[in-house]
Amino acid sequence: MTRTDHSPHDVPTAAQLVAAVRDFLQTDVLPAVEGRVRFHTRVAINVLGMVERELELGPAQAEEHAARLAALGVADDAELAAAVREGRLADDHALVAALEQAVRAKLEVANPGYLTAE
């Protein structure tokens, strides 16, 4: 596998390493364990899935979030919270839309299944 970016790190990438460990736990470990260890293995598999999705989606999501904040006239989440507390945001629709998009991005990483369940 060739890398097209200019990363100083060789292959496998962090995402590939995480995927390999998740696959090992899911394919080899999970079927061989039960009880508490099985539960914790499933938790570890889910956590590694979240890490994979964050590595893949995180950079673009961070840029999109920064653009949403800038459109609302704030620099970061703390300033957004302060603006909401103080009633400084005039366009409630824009605020709700930005918050919905932020929650959607979080769910895309944490548990994308929640986005398809209706």
DSSP string, 4-44: -S--SSPSSPHHHHHHHHHHHIIIIIGGG--HHHHHHHHHH
- Are the C-beta atoms of residues 46 and 61 closer than 8 Å to each other? no
Q: Say yes or no to pLDDT of 19 above 50.
A: yes
Q: Say yes or no to pLDDT of 1 above 60.
A: no
If one compares 3 and 98, the residue with the highest pLDDT of the two is 98
- Residue 1 located in a structural domain: no
- Residue 2 located in a structural domain: no
How many domains is the chain partitioned into structurally?
A: 1
In Å, how far from its chain's centre is CA 82?
24
What are the pLDDT digits (tens) for 29-52? 999 999 999 999 999 999 999 999
- Residue 88 located in a structural domain: yes
- Residue 5 located in a structural domain: no
Where in the sequence is the domain holding 18, given as residue range(s)?
14-116
* Contact partners, residue 98, CB within 8 Å, separation at least 6: 68, 69, 71, 72
Task: Give the global pTM.
Answer: 0.81
- Residue 23 located in a structural domain: yes
Q: Comparing C-alpha atoms, which of 94, 92, 112 is closest to residue 104?
A: 112
